[in-house]
Structure 1
Amino acid sequence: MSYDGVGPRAVTRSVAFLTAGALAVPLLTGCGSDEEPSKPLAGQDIALVARDKVADGGTLKWAVDAVPETLNTFQADADAGTTRVAQAVLPSMFRLDADGRPVANPAYLESAKVIETEPRQVVQYKLNQQAVWSDGREIGAADFVAQWRALSGKDSAYWTARNAGYDRIAKIERGANDLQVQVTFSRPYADWKSLFSPLYPKDVMGTPDAFNDGARRKLNVSAGPFRVGKVDTAKKDVVLTRNPRWWGEPAKLNEIVLHAVSRDKRAGALADGSVDLAEIDAAEAQRIGLAVSGKSGSPFQGSGKTSVKKLRSWALAHGFPSGKVKAGREKLAKAVTTYLKEQQELKDFDVRRSLEPAYTQLALNGASGPLTDERVRRAVARALDRDELARLVLTPLGLPAVPVGSHLALSGQPAYADGSGAVGGQDTKEAQALLADAGWVPGGPVKEPKKGEKAAGPESGDSGKKDEEKSEGGTDGEYIVGEDGKGKQHEGGEEGERHLAQEGKHGGAPGAYAPKGTAAPAAAPAAPLAKDGKPLALRFVLPSGPGSETLNTVAERIGAMLERVGIRSTITKVSDESYFKDHIASGDYDLALYSWPASAFPATDARPIYAKPVPSADGSVNVEQNYTRVGTDQVDQLFDQAAATLDEGEARSLIRKADARIWAAAGSIPLYQRPQLVGVRKNLVNAGAFGFQTPVYEDMGYLKKGAKVAPSPSHS
């Protein structure tokens, strides 16, 4: 669960937001005549200009969460930084366009298509004749074969994180010439377009030692507009330099430096020139907006003297952390002065806004407690006003506040359809009826625990855990599940999920994260429910790191909605380090918030997220990535059928049926698409909030003097 970025497939398909490469192939069939294709809720927001307006040279300093532990996207500890590097330096047969649809990458492919279906599926790749590795060798069948053998799952010496699709390949052969590669499958595979993106050279994939260790800190051979110059862990940099053997349009920039900066320090890094491009949270976006408008103001009077009371009031209104607000006058005045200097520098930046190809969900643990009963889970779903939750997060950011209607695709993608009708919309009476049918009744007697017993409820057994903090509020992190099977925090601008918006705690002025005038839920809470002497109380587990305000705000609003139908919940905050490993993955929660990326290949990538848990030989239960532990045989069968059909219309129909059944089981409730807020230096073009689209690295650069950029259509 890579809370940062991306790909469900246990491990980076490329965490970079749905990656750059891994995406699929050509020609998706259009919608039927009786349906309208969906559109992305928000387009990409970048200063898009023609290459002749971009200056040659310069360095782009791009903030990432951390220096990647590995440059091999197929390893378990790959992250979003790994994906960024792979997108810039390695071949990808397919990439996503602005509508979230996969397209062939002409830099590497002349064509790719299924040429036989009987007796076996055969895919023919015709490679761009100019495509060469940086050592001068042509990209060809030997590289495809090496990657297949490494990722097929047949050799355990390769420490791979996933082999989906590669395990269905029977053989790979050279075609009529060196530019043709023919891949024969042992059984039909609809998502064949996801393979070989990125493609590593045979030098990396050829042996277990090279795969396991050779590409962790360096890539000697590459084939993109950039190549890896060096990985400098001391400076927290990955330096990418122009590839002199690149055959496409030459990169405008001399260098791209991926620089690790924690989320809570991004505004300062932009201001001091450490970075030119950074994903930011809602509070930092507001800071830049104030700087550009000249409305930052100053608490200092003409003489420079200001009372500590006025300083604290001003600092509070501008989102200063409570620790700084409560500091003595001298320290506080120094902090305010630093802030005002940074505001002057932030005038040189714009905020670009879009929606990430990922969504935030409410996860319901169906393996233990009251939520094992599907009626209770469905009651939770019917208690939620998802429109209100979307507005809470997205409206203050000027983004479309539309709830996500699918677990398996986002609006704009071919498989998207709103399947939420399978569980139903917000309906208090229906939720209460479901609870009553499950035996939970208002005002039921609650047994007092006997001596030595633990009290029932969400706080049972938690008092001794040092990493947890019971709370009715506070801030908590936002997470997005990734392919590496690990969780990473992201405090973006949305749900943290990693992209957040919240109320003025931790770095935002009051009212910065919730629409002005938004009132707390007014409905009176229902009488508490009980069954067999136990109250209906759920433990809502959230991370507690910086940038997690949105998750907490959303959780508090959900708690109020549940209270209206008689369900009590208590927020339990845990450390970022333990949130995923000790709670989500282990099943130690009732309710939780985290995000999943949308995949261009849901039949492959989403299956492990919703697969029915099965007992293992040792007596444990294998949940794969299904952290809610809710699954059905029918959903599994629909995924398998979708992955095995080469008819794209039929596959899309099967995916939508699977989604409707996932909704009905109510193990997870999609809430809203995550916001994407990016601070960008004003003269930096062809870079920003990319939305679905894979970045075009060779076109990024700085605007020529005298050239102009058209204003963004999404905001002023």
Structure 2
Amino acid sequence: MSHDGVAPRAVMRSVAFLSAGALAVPLLAGCSSEDPAGKPLAASDIGFADRSLVADGGTLRWAVDSVPDTLNTFQSDADATTTRVAQAVLPAMYRLDANGRPQLDADYLEKAEVVETEPRQVVLYKLNQQAVWSDGREIGAADFAAQWRALSGKDTAYWTARNAGYDRIEKIERGKNDLEVKVTFARPYADWKSLFSPLYPKDVMGTPDSFNDSARKKLKVTAGPFALEKVDRKDDEVTLARNPRWWGHPAKLNEIVLRAVPRDKRAAALAAGELDLAEIDPESVKRITVAAKGTRSATPLMGPGSNLSAADALRSWAVAKGTDEEAADDEISAREKQREEAAAYARQQQALRGFEVRRSLEPAYTQLALNGAEGPLADERVRRAVARAIDREALASAVLTPLGLPAEPVGSHLALSGQAAYADNSGALGGQDTAEAQALLADAGWVPGGPLKEEKKKGDKAAGSKGEKTAGSKGEKDSSDEEESEDGTYIVGEDDKAPREADKALREADREKKQDPRKHQESGDGSQHLAQDGKQYANKLTQGGAPGAYAPRGTAAPAGAAAGALAKDGKPLTLRFVLPSGPGSQTLRTVADRISGMLQKVGIRTEITKVADESYFKDHIASGQFDLALYSWPASAFPATDARPIYAKPVPAADGSLNVEQNYTRVGTDQVDQLFDQAVSTLDEDESRGLIRKADSRIWAAAGSIPLYQRPQLTAARTNIANAGAFGFQTPVFEDMGFLRKGAAHPSASPTEK
């Protein structure tokens, strides 16, 4: 999981979006002579070094989110660590390059090509004659055939999560010799390069029992630069050891230990010498950046106690020096504990000087999902209004600019900049335009200042009783701009209680100042003199709000101020905005607050609810219990295959329910489905890319999903680690990873910088 939130697993990639057949779509960029795919927004940053500069031996301790429940990437509970292990120990016919495009892996393949198209598509694979499994057996047609039978979907005894592409194969047979594998397709398949990566041995794929159970916990037979040595669930580690039968460049490292460490504990684990490489959150980036500058401790704005205001410090001093002995003892103990924590933090900062931050962009993007199944967002005009109210450039800048990464919004649902299918098709929907958003809402019947019916929420007490909270009564005494309940729900876009309360606090502070000016005199060191009631006075300071935070009542609203709340049929336009609450989701919550502010300007209120990470997808997103949500999708080099289930039109299931696959927005069209079907069946690569871009334009126009920004990839690495870090699109080259030889120059970010 990335620092900016929860993301669906790549192996389950799928979603869908609603109709825009009547909407005009601009001419595709693919029709021009200039390639619209462009280049990746950020290059990989892996500390590149030639193999000759990398020492032989050593153990690389690499943080992961979890020890995988299964080592079979084709099962539903496979995760990112499953994929990482497979990349190191199993064959892949194709691997991704720095532009996110598939390239033949010469360690396994000499050649692969379509040799026939009529009457059937036939692909001929010519294997590297040195390629063998760790038990000495040659990799061959029997392994390809076993994987096809297991994943074709014809035998339901195999518990497979996906069979895309394999279900189009008619037969697999040996070619002219043992090094040739001939694959014949029953139907044309454009994404044939996605198949057999990874390739499991026939020992795993040969029977349902070995596929379903044996490969979950161990892989006895492998064929990569590393082999699986052990999975230690007690210590939360997976150990990969150098494969002595590997025929390619021998691995530089003796071992790679994948250690499960929570993201919020990785900085401490790095400082303690327990990790060498770890993806980290923005807060840890700040720590390592400060440490690298050579300071012995963090700035006053970092570490234990950095969140305390001047008023908090004054209150602490007052309590510690006060007459209440019990409270004073507690405060003194708390202050001593904080000093100890600060000292430990300073020691960690010193240890972090041996690390650096390697930065790129993940092959994944964060999007705003709009649930079009019911409520206001079932109306395409309202979805389009939401999209036109949002400033995607501002959101990308807020997340990426502070991290030193290019802040450019994502222009496609189906690929990222640099990938072959990429083109910025956002023009099919249009950019930020407040007036256009308001016009769309008015056309949909949402008008400002309409009468509101009294609505009793489920679980609310009767009107007037203690604990009642209503959303949207204009002028109501207890309403607020951001009113948060005990369950983490709060409304953005209600009336102006906050400015009123701030005005009241400022007037009280003014009155106190006139009555006792000594309370506001400053001493030479900047601290305020406290009278006998210092504790009470410090409390009042923190409750009064920040001077200057609000304009005096009656001040004219600035340009671009929020519009009045909208209503229709007696109901306010309020959207449920569901967010994960875990420590790694702070960026998502910040983005959500900004989006809520943007929507408020066109009269749309949001009800923000924070839920536990573990229930976010299952209980809210997948079940449709949201109007707005933020989550990420991985980019694929094969969007015709992998993206179709994400954007396919939901269809009724046999039991009467709606089969949405991973189309959590419930928005889709027959036209988009047809374009995907055509793209995946077209063997002309240029034509297939054109169809994908056309499908993306239709998806934009339907406004079920709004891509925002490519996710940051932030990796802490020891400064002497080579060929590992923020990989971006590129598949890691595990055999080249290692520690620099003594005296070797500091590695460059990527091969192009060498």
**Alignment-derived partner of residue 400 in structure 1:** 406
Displacement of 1:384 in angstroms is: 0.4
**Alignment-derived partner of residue 112 in structure 1:** 112
**Alignment-derived partner of residue 454 in structure 2:** 448
Residue identity matched to 1:119? P
**Alignment-derived partner of residue 642 in structure 2:** 605
Whether contact under 8 Å (1:543, 1:573) holds in the other structure is yes
Is residue 102 of structure 1 aligned with residue 102 of structure 2?
yes
**Alignment-derived partner of residue 17 in structure 1:** none
Give % identity: 71
* 1:435 alignment partner, one of 429, 436, 441: 441
Q: Distance in 1 between matches of 2:691 and 2:391?
A: 28
Displacement of 1:468 in angstroms is: 4.4
TM-score of the superposition, structure 2-length normalised? 0.80
Is residue 75 of structure 1 aligned with residue 75 of structure 2?
yes
3-state secondary structure, aligned to 1:693: coil
Is residue 663 of structure 1 aligned with residue 700 of structure 2?
yes
Aligned pairs for 1:32-43 (under 5 A) are 33-43=33-43
**Alignment-derived partner of residue 208 in structure 1:** 208
Aligned pairs for 1:16-35 (under 5 A) are 33-35=33-35
Residue identity matched to 1:653? G
Instruction: Select the structure that is richer in helix.
Output: 2
Q: Distance in 2 between matches of 1:72 and 1:657?
A: 35
Q: Distance in 2 between matches of 1:439 and 1:132?
A: 67
Is residue 673 of structure 1 aligned with residue 710 of structure 2?
yes
**Alignment-derived partner of residue 371 in structure 1:** 377
* 2:488 alignment partner, one of 451, 469, 484: 469
Displacement of 1:448 in angstroms is: 1.4
Distance 1:327 1:684, change over 3 A: farther
Q: Distance in 2 between matches of 1:221 and 1:38?
A: 41
Displacement of 1:294 in angstroms is: 2.5
* 2:568 alignment partner, one of 512, 523, 531: 531
Distance 1:310 1:296, change over 3 A: farther
Whether contact under 8 Å (1:96, 1:103) holds in the other structure is yes
**Alignment-derived partner of residue 541 in structure 2:** none
Displacement of 1:334 in angstroms is: 1.5
* Bigger relative CO (Cα 8 Å, ≥ 6 apart): 2
Displacement of 1:449 in angstroms is: 3.2
Q: Distance in 1 between matches of 2:183 and 2:95?
A: 20
**Alignment-derived partner of residue 701 in structure 1:** 738
Distance 1:617 1:6, change over 3 A: closer
Displacement of 1:36 in angstroms is: 4.9
Displacement of 1:523 in angstroms is: 2.7
Distance 1:206 1:456, change over 3 A: farther
Displacement of 1:205 in angstroms is: 0.5
Displacement of 1:424 in angstroms is: 0.6
Q: Distance in 1 between matches of 2:695 and 2:457?
A: 48
Q: Distance in 1 between matches of 2:236 and 2:270?
A: 16
Residue identity matched to 1:344? Q
Number of residue-to-residue matches in the alignment: 633
Residue identity matched to 2:675? L
Task: Map Cα deviations across residues 363-414 of structure 1 (whole Å, 9 max, x no partner).
Answer: 0000011000000000000000000000000000010000000000000001
Task: Map Cα deviations across residues 484-534 of structure 1 (whole Å, 9 max, x no partner).
Answer: xxxxxxxxxxxxxxxxxxxxxxxxxxxxxxxxxxxxx97311010000000
Q: Distance in 2 between matches of 1:165 and 1:48?
A: 35
Task: Map Cα deviations across residues 637-694 of structure 1 (whole Å, 9 max, x no partner).
Answer: 0000000000011100000010000000000000000000000011110001000000
Residue identity matched to 1:663? W
Whether contact under 8 Å (1:467, 1:574) holds in the other structure is no
Displacement of 1:711 in angstroms is: 4.6
**Alignment-derived partner of residue 144 in structure 1:** 144
* 2:687 alignment partner, one of 628, 650, 653: 650
Q: Distance in 2 between matches of 1:42 and 1:546?
A: 26
3-state secondary structure, aligned to 1:548: helix
Distance 1:215 1:31, change over 3 A: farther
Q: Distance in 2 between matches of 1:86 and 1:311?
A: 54
Q: Distance in 2 between matches of 1:40 and 1:679?
A: 21
Q: Distance in 1 between matches of 2:569 and 2:117?
A: 58
Q: Distance in 2 between matches of 1:188 and 1:553?
A: 45
Displacement of 1:709 in angstroms is: 2.3
**Alignment-derived partner of residue 16 in structure 1:** none
Distance 1:410 1:299, change over 3 A: closer
Q: Distance in 2 between matches of 1:451 and 1:105?
A: 58
Whether contact under 8 Å (1:456, 1:534) holds in the other structure is no
Whether contact under 8 Å (1:389, 1:554) holds in the other structure is yes
Question: Where in structure 2 are there 5+ consecutive unaligned residues?
Answer: 15-29, 301-305, 317-330, 461-468, 474-484, 493-557
Displacement of 1:176 in angstroms is: 0.3
Question: Where in structure 1 are there 5+ consecutive unaligned residues?
Answer: 13-29, 301-305, 317-324, 460-465, 474-520
3-state secondary structure, aligned to 1:73: coil
3-state secondary structure, aligned to 1:595: strand
Task: Map Cα deviations across residues 262-281 of structure 1 (whole Å, 9 max, x no partner).
Answer: 01001011111111000001
Q: Distance in 2 between matches of 1:252 and 1:712?
A: 19
Distance 1:37 1:453, change over 3 A: closer
Distance 1:5 1:254, change over 3 A: farther
Task: Map Cα deviations across residues 118-161 of structure 1 (whole Å, 9 max, x no partner).
Answer: 00000000000000000000000000011001001111111110
Q: Distance in 1 between matches of 2:310 and 2:569?
A: 56
Q: Distance in 2 between matches of 1:64 and 1:684?
A: 17
**Alignment-derived partner of residue 266 in structure 1:** 266
Q: Distance in 2 between matches of 1:220 and 1:299?
A: 51
Q: Distance in 1 between matches of 2:600 and 2:347?
A: 46
Is residue 357 of structure 1 aligned with residue 363 of structure 2?
yes
TM-score of the superposition, structure 1-length normalised? 0.84
Residue identity matched to 2:429? V
Aligned pairs for 1:502-521 (under 5 A) are none
Whether contact under 8 Å (1:458, 1:570) holds in the other structure is no
Whether contact under 8 Å (1:175, 1:182) holds in the other structure is yes
Residue identity matched to 2:710? Q
3-state secondary structure, aligned to 1:171: strand
**Alignment-derived partner of residue 50 in structure 2:** 50
Distance 1:311 1:345, change over 3 A: farther
Q: Distance in 2 between matches of 1:326 and 1:524?
A: 47
Whether contact under 8 Å (1:539, 1:571) holds in the other structure is yes
* 2:423 alignment partner, one of 399, 403, 417: 417
Whether contact under 8 Å (2:11, 2:78) holds in the other structure is no
Q: Distance in 2 between matches of 1:457 and 1:179?
A: 69
Whether contact under 8 Å (2:410, 2:708) holds in the other structure is yes
Task: Map Cα deviations across residues 312-353 of structure 1 (whole Å, 9 max, x no partner).
Answer: 879x9xxxxxxxx99811211111111111111100001000
Distance 1:629 1:80, change over 3 A: same
Q: Distance in 1 between matches of 2:144 and 2:175?
A: 12
3-state secondary structure, aligned to 1:188: coil
Is residue 227 of structure 1 aligned with residue 251 of structure 2?
no
Q: Distance in 2 between matches of 1:675 and 1:451?
A: 39
Whether contact under 8 Å (1:352, 1:677) holds in the other structure is yes
Q: Distance in 2 between matches of 1:174 and 1:572?
A: 57
Residue identity matched to 2:489? K
Q: Distance in 2 between matches of 1:61 and 1:658?
A: 43
**Alignment-derived partner of residue 385 in structure 1:** 391
**Alignment-derived partner of residue 253 in structure 1:** 253
**Alignment-derived partner of residue 12 in structure 2:** 10
Whether contact under 8 Å (1:683, 1:702) holds in the other structure is yes
Distance 1:34 1:285, change over 3 A: closer
* 1:686 alignment partner, one of 723, 729, 732: 723
Is residue 334 of structure 1 aligned with residue 340 of structure 2?
yes
Displacement of 1:297 in angstroms is: 3.6
Whether contact under 8 Å (2:121, 2:187) holds in the other structure is yes
Task: Map Cα deviations across residues 201-250 of structure 1 (whole Å, 9 max, x no partner).
Answer: 00000000000110111100000000000000111100000100000000
**Alignment-derived partner of residue 662 in structure 2:** 625
Q: Distance in 2 between matches of 1:310 and 1:528?
A: 37
Residue identity matched to 1:392? A
Distance 1:61 1:326, change over 3 A: farther
**Alignment-derived partner of residue 545 in structure 2:** none
Aligned pairs for 1:150-165 (under 5 A) are 150-165=150-165
